[in-house]
Amino acid sequence: MSKYGDRIALLRDKHALTQEELANKLGISRASLSHYETSRREPDYDTINKIATFFKVSIDYLLGRTNSPEQVLDEDIKEFADSLELSDDKILEKFSLTIDGNKLTSEEAKRFIAFVRAERSLK
Cα angle value 72/65/97 (rounded, 5°)? 90
Distance of alpha carbon 2 from alpha carbon 8, whole angstroms: 11
- 68 in any annotated domain: no
CA distances to 5, 35, 38, 87, 91 from 10, in Å: 9, 15, 12, 40, 37
> Between 88 and 51, where is the model more confident?
51
- 70 in any annotated domain: no
Is residue 54 located within the same domain as residue 96? no
Is residue 58 located within the same domain as residue 102? no
Distance of alpha carbon 123 from alpha carbon 18, whole angstroms: 45
Query: Which tens digits make up the pLDDT trace of 67-101?
Result: 877 755 566 666 666 666 777 777 777 777 788 88
Domain count, the chain: 2
What is the CATH classification number for the domain harbouring 50? Answer: 1.10.260.40
> Between 47 and 76, where is the model more confident?
47
Amino acid 54: pLDDT: 93
- 67 in any annotated domain: no
Is residue 58 located within the same domain as residue 89? no
- Segments forming the whole domain that contains residue 55: 3-62
- 26 in any annotated domain: yes
Distance of alpha carbon 72 from alpha carbon 113, whole angstroms: 28
Distance of alpha carbon 120 from alpha carbon 82, whole angstroms: 20
Query: Which tens digits make up the pLDDT trace of 16-35?
Result: 999 999 999 999 999 999 99
Is residue 88 located within the same domain as residue 111? yes
Is residue 25 located within the same domain as residue 55? yes
0.85 exceeded by pTM: no
Is residue 53 located within the same domain as residue 96? no
